[in-house]
A and B are shown apart, each in its own frame.
Chain A
Amino acid sequence: MDSQVDSHELVLAIEGERSPRQIQVPRGATAKEVIEAVVLETKRTELTEIFLEDQEECLVEERRVVEIVLEEFRLIHVASKGKITVTVVYNGRQVHRDFAPSVTVETIIAWAISPAGLNLEGVPAEYQLKLGSEVLPPDVHLGQVAKGEKRITFSLVFRIKPQGAS
Chain B
Amino acid sequence: MTPDQAALRADIDSLTFKLGAKRGKWGLESLEFPVAYFAIAAPKRAQGPTRFLLRVDCRSYPALAPTSQLWDGRTDTALSVDQRPMGRTGVLVAFSPWNACLYHPIDRIARDHWPNQFEELTWKPGSTIVTLLETVHGLIHNPDYLVSTAPDAAAALRRPLVA
Cβ–Cβ < 8 Å partners of A138 in chain B? 138
A75 within 8 A of B: yes
Per-residue CB contact flags for chain A residues 82-125 toward chain B (1 = under 8 Å, else 0) read 00000000000000000000000000000000000000001101
A130 touches B120 (CB 8 A): yes
A126 with B143: CB separation less than 8 A: yes
Q: Given known contacts A20-B16, A22-B15, A75-B19, is B118 in contact with A165 (CB within 8 Å)?
A: no
Question: Which B residues are closer than 8 A to A by beta carbons?
Answer: 15-16, 18-19, 22-23, 93-94, 103-105, 113-114, 117-121, 134, 138, 141-144
List of A residues within 8 angstroms of B141 by Cβ: 125
Give chain B's interface secondary structure class: helix
User: A44 in the interface, Cβ–Cβ < 8 Å?
Assistant: no
A71 CB to nearest B CB, Å: 13
Q: Decide: A20 and B15 in contact? CB cutoff 8 A.
A: yes
A interface residues with partner B (beta carbon < 8 Å) = 11, 19-22, 73, 75, 122-123, 125-126, 130, 133-135, 137-139, 159-165
- New A-B pairs, 17, CB < 8 Å, besides A130-B120, A137-B134, A159-B138: A11-B22, A20-B19, A73-B22, A73-B23, A122-B143, A125-B141, A125-B142, A125-B143, A126-B142, A133-B119, A133-B120, A135-B121, A138-B138, A159-B142, A162-B93, A162-B94, A164-B93
Across chains A and B, the number of contacting residue pairs, with CB separation under 8 Å, is: 51
Per DSSP, are chain A's interface residues mostly helix, strand or loop, or mixed?
Answer: loop
Q: How far is the CA of A75 from the CA of B23 in the complex (A)?
A: 9
A130–B119 CA distance with the chains assembled, in angstroms: 13
Chain A residues contacting B105 (CB-CB under 8 Å) are: 162
Contacts of B117 on A, CB cut-off 8 Å?
A: 162
Nearest 10 Cβ contacts at the A-B interface: A165-B113, A73-B22, A20-B15, A137-B134, A133-B120, A162-B118, A20-B19, A125-B143, A135-B120, A22-B15
CA distance A126 to B144 in the complex (A): 9
In the bound complex, do residue A162 and residue B121 qualify as a contact, i.e. CB atoms below 8 Å apart?
yes
A166 to B70, CA, bound (A): 25
Across the interface, which residues of B come within 8 angstroms of A130, CB to CB?
A: 120
6 contacts between A and B (CB under 8 A): A11-B15, A137-B134, A159-B138, A161-B93, A162-B121, A164-B93
**A165 surroundings in chain B (CB, below 8 A):** 113-114
Query: Smallest CB–CB gap between B12 and chain A, Å?
Result: 15
Taking CB atoms, residues of chain A closer than 8 Å to B142 are: 125-126, 159
Given A19-B15, A75-B19, A133-B120, the answer on whether A162 and B114 have CB atoms closer than 8 Å is yes
Cβ contacts under 8 Å, B18 to chain A: 11
Closest to A130 in B: B120
State which of B15, B93, B121, B138 has its C-beta within 8 Å of the C-beta of A21.
B15
